[in-house]
Amino acid sequence: MKQQDVPRHIATPLVNPAYPPVVPRFTDREYLNIVYRTDPEALRAVVPEPLEIDEPLVRFEVMRMGDVTGYGPYTEAGQAVEVRYEGERGEYLHAMYLDNFPATASGREAAAYPKTVGAPALYADHGALVGVLDYGTLGVARATMGYKHYELDPEEARAQIAVPTYMLKLVPGFDGAPQVAQLVRTEITDVEVKGAWTGPARLQLFEHVLAPMADLPVREVVSASHILTDLTLAPAKPVHDYLAR
């Protein structure tokens, strides 16, 4: 392979890149969102400056991707923390667990999503919407919500999932020193809300050293939503450089 041809490839292995060269469109993306109050000290220990915390609120989410361009169906679970940056309200993505390797690799390499492996699921069970996350053979999270008890206004649903999102882009050099250390921002675009509901909800988090969701403990469930939508993710852009002098 000629030198000038190498940069034309997006990822390794060169003959079979870890993820496809597409801008994915998410069709029939289904959310279970549970917003809960946690310990302020626990949030301050993990949310990076210059992000600011007002209320100690975390959104636990399970997302079932019905169809994704280039990736197919998969499921994802994670935690997002309510924050502010330069006066703008948004969310800081704390952790994400997926059952699809190409989506995990592209999220980490092409953007800055804090993705790692896991076994999430979202399904209906005897009148409840159930969201679970397992890591290996052990349970990490169990969420339940009354299935479609009350309709939720589509604009409110859109506002819940389309807030600005902040993430850390960390890339070490070969000597272990940081080569890239940035706070980046992205958002959801082209949102079509197909259905949205709310209802009573419960959330349990279990201790696991490799999936430490319980480090942000549940003190009070504040709200819950079940949303079905189509959407696109905008490219991530740096907003703060930790290595700048």
Q: Which residues pair with 128 in a beta bridge?
A: 125, 146
Model pLDDT for residues 137-151, shown as the tens digit of each residue: 999 999 999 999 999
Backbone angles phi, psi at 4, to 5 degrees: -70, -15
Model pLDDT for residues 36-66, shown as the tens digit of each residue: 999 999 999 999 999 999 999 999 999 999 9
Q: Give 242's pLDDT tier (boundaries 50, 70, 90).
A: very high
Taking CA 228 as the corner, what is the angle to CA 94 and CA 140, rounded to the nearest 5 degrees? 40
User: What pLDDT, on the 0 to 100 scale, is given for residue 69?
Assistant: 95
Q: Give 153's pLDDT tier (boundaries 50, 70, 90).
A: very high
**Euclidean distance between CA atoms 148 and 150, whole angstroms:** 6
Backbone angles phi, psi at 155, to 5 degrees: -70, -35
Catalytic residue among 115, 148, 169, 237: 115
**Euclidean distance between CA atoms 152 and 130, whole angstroms:** 18
User: What pLDDT, on the 0 to 100 scale, is given for residue 146?
Assistant: 98
Mean pLDDT of the chain: 96
**Euclidean distance between CA atoms 210 and 36, whole angstroms:** 22
Task: State the average pLDDT over residues 77-85.
Answer: 98
SS3 of residue 199 by DSSP: coil
Q: Is the pLDDT confidence value at 245 over 80?
A: no
Q: Give 208's pLDDT tier (boundaries 50, 70, 90).
A: very high
Model pLDDT for residues 212-223, shown as the tens digit of each residue: 999 999 999 999
User: What pLDDT, on the 0 to 100 scale, is given for residue 221?
Assistant: 98
User: What pLDDT, on the 0 to 100 scale, is given for residue 108?
Assistant: 93
115 catalytically annotated: yes
Kindly state the percentage of the chain with pLDDT values over 90.
95
Task: State the average pLDDT over residues 67-96.
Answer: 97
